[in-house]
Amino acid sequence: MVQRSLHEKLRVAILFGGRSGEHDVSIASAMSVIDTLNRQRYDPLPVYLDQQGNWIPHTTPHNAQKGIIGSATDPFPLLAHQTDIAFPVLHGTHGEDGAIQGLLEMMDVPYVGPGVVASATGMDKAVFKQIMQAHGFPILPWILVTSKQLSDSADRVVERIEAAVSYPVFTKPANLGSSVGISRCNNQTELIAGLEEACCYDHRIVVEQGIRPRELEIAILGNDDPQASTIGEIRPKAAFYSYAAKYVSDDSELLIPAPLDVQLAQQAQKLAIDAYRAIDCAGMARVDLFLSLTDDQLYVNEINTIPGFTEISMYPQLWTASGIGYSELLDQLIALGLERHHEKKTLKRTYQYAPTI
């Protein structure tokens, strides 16, 4: 990392774009982050990661959107010599799954947001559920199916699913986001179609009990002492919060705060913090819960370790509603990233074995 005097601004590399289905969402998020970063304290360095995996510094999200792209560079000197802290504003594959976090760890560059384990766990719906189960946190009944099992014997797979969950069920690729490849299946024919669709995106598929949920979202901020924001609620107009509902016909209703009684709200916030800690999150995450309309039960649905960051995204909006404005939120996230990096620096990286006689 670059050494600089206390009075110089921190150079923040905003990494955006990426080889992911959520490339365009990332551009929109990065636009807001760069526009909001306090210029008195930070020097933002936009770094566009294109769909082919090239790293292109000094290309702003506005330019990336217009197709005005600079020239690619080697990411290593860029991170090592021009960056005090990296802010991966990347969603999905390679950005939110621990890959970029691993690269930054290797290069000893501080970064905003959760580390490798939390990112990878948050991204993998099956591993995430297993960890929630191990902690005894409430999740919906589910089973894991592989594409190999499906090609060996679809009948056996369907039998196993129907013994574990009842229709409607949701079929989800284990490692994806933004509702891509997710189907709501009301019967066996739809189940087979849903499994085939999910198989296009991953060889591991989560099949989950469908319910009629209220969808609650809670923003968490912090390292060792994470805090929960006020609770938000999404009311999709469509049958579920699909890709189209999220990004195409943006007519879902967003309620902040979610109308909930105080006790239930506190229970939801505690569950969100517990889940955050369970996967070793640091910095930030948005924890999504379901509240079943039939029995008022809370369920952990998922954790997004790099949530949407546009001004109208839930994560910054929840903090604004909780008294932390967008710019101050970015200050805190950067401070938390630096703090985590500093703590790691104090760890011993060598071991001298000294036998006791």
Ligand X SMILES: Nc1ncnc2c1ncn2[C@@H]1O[C@H](COP(=O)(O)OP(=O)(O)O)[C@@H](O)[C@H]1O
Answer yes or no whether residue 128 interacts with ligand X by CB under 6 A. Answer: no
Token output for 283: 């910095």
* Residue 57 one-letter amino acid: P
Answer yes or no whether residue 213 interacts with ligand X by CB under 6 A. Answer: yes
Nearer to ligand X, 80 or 211 (CB): 211
Nearer to ligand X, 84 or 288 (CB): 288
DSSP letter (8 states) at residue 113: S
Nearer to ligand X, 83 or 121 (CB): 121
Token output for 349: 């990286």
For 145, the enclosing helix (H) or strand (E) is strand 142-146
Q: How far is the C-alpha of 330 from the C-alpha of 336, rounded, in Å?
A: 10
CA distances to 2, 20, 42, 44, 175 from 9, in Å? 12, 31, 5, 9, 37
* Residues in contact with 328: Cβ distance below 8 Å, sequence separation at least 6, in sequence order: none
Interacting residue with ligand X among 140, 191, 198, 207 (CB under 6 A): 140
**Using CB under 6 A, which residues numbered 283 to 342 contact ligand X?**
288, 301-302
Interacting residue with ligand X among 98, 122, 210, 226 (CB under 6 A): 210
Nearer to ligand X, 84 or 302 (CB): 302
In order, the DSSP letters of 264-297 are HHHHHHHHHHHHHHHTT--EEEEEEEEEETTT--
End-to-end CA distance of the chain: 42
- Give the nearest distance from C-beta 310 to ligand X in angstroms: 16
Answer yes or no whether residue 144 interacts with ligand X by CB under 6 A. Answer: no
- Give the nearest distance from C-beta 245 to ligand X in angstroms: 8
Q: Which residue is nearest to ligand X (CB)?
A: 241
Length of the chain: 357
Size of the site for ligand X (CB under 6 A): 19
Q: Rounded to a whole number, what is the largest CA-CA distance in the chain?
A: 72
Nearer to ligand X, 286 or 340 (CB): 286
**Using CB under 6 A, which residues numbered 16 to 45 contact ligand X?**
none
Answer yes or no whether residue 69 interacts with ligand X by CB under 6 A. Answer: no
Whether 96 and 305 have beta carbons less than 8 Å apart is answered as yes
Binding mask 145-184 for ligand X (x = CB under 6 A): -------------------------x-x----xxx--x--
- Give the nearest distance from C-beta 203 to ligand X in angstroms: 17
| Strand pairing category for 283-292 and 298-304 | antiparallel
Nearer to ligand X, 63 or 130 (CB): 130
Answer yes or no whether residue 254 interacts with ligand X by CB under 6 A. Answer: no
Token output for 216: 């609650």
Answer yes or no whether residue 208 interacts with ligand X by CB under 6 A. Answer: yes
* Residue 11 one-letter amino acid: R
Could you list the residues that contact ligand X (CB under 6 A)? 140, 170, 172, 177-179, 182, 208-211, 213, 215, 236, 240-241, 288, 301-302
